[in-house]
A = this chain, B = another copy of it.
Amino acid sequence: MKIEDFILKSEGSWKSMRSSHILTFQKFEEIHSLIDIKLLSHQEQAVQNLIESMPPQSGNLLTPFHMKWEAESDWEQSSHKESSSGSCLLIPISKSPNEGVFIKSNGYAECIPSISQYQLSKDGTIELTTRYEKTIAQEKIWFASKNLRCRASLIKIAESSGILQTSYASEIRQLNKSEE
């Protein structure tokens, strides 16, 4: 699989179940969410604006995409569910066939524009590493089947490498009536 194939396969609507493991406190958080991934053209103004706002990156510009999500979290220590939503623009740039960067308008661990390094392994797993101001996020994303995407991630403290939490998501593609 090539990185461009991975991006094309990711387009669509996904129903996600995500579990976070807060390691120090041995607490679980459960999150149901809907994720929508839409491919964009290079010409979109938002794509151009994001590229211009970040340090220049050499390499081949691949298909940019937009991700938006609506989440409902069931946090073990709280009696009520919490809703949240957000969106992010991602621009992949390949530096070699299996390596490159993603420019992101929002980070995962910290809500700031960021640049993630990616590597695509032989078995089709993307590994993303994002260095934020205080934390480093690492994610592995792979397709268990055409319609099930898995995502395992962890957040560690940049200074000490201490791991704060891990999380894992099972993302099921939502098919249109005509595709079922």
Contacts and interface: CB of A to CB of B under 8 A. Distances in A.
A28 interface: yes
Interface string A110-148: 000000000001110101000000000010000011001
Interface residues of A, number: 27
A172 B19 contact: no
A26 B17 contact: yes
5 contacts: A19-B21, A121-B122, A122-B122, A123-B127, A144-B154
Count of this chain's copies in the oligomeric assembly? 2
A161 interface: yes
Interface of A: 15, 17, 19, 21, 23, 26, 28, 30, 32, 121-123, 125, 127, 138, 144-145, 148, 150, 152, 154, 161, 163, 166, 168, 170, 172
A168 B17 contact: no
Given A145-B163, A166-B144, A166-B170, A32 B26 contact: yes
Given A121-B121, A123-B127, A166-B150, A19 B23 contact: no
A173 to B, nearest CB: 12
Contacts of A122: 121-122
A15 B26 CA distance: 9
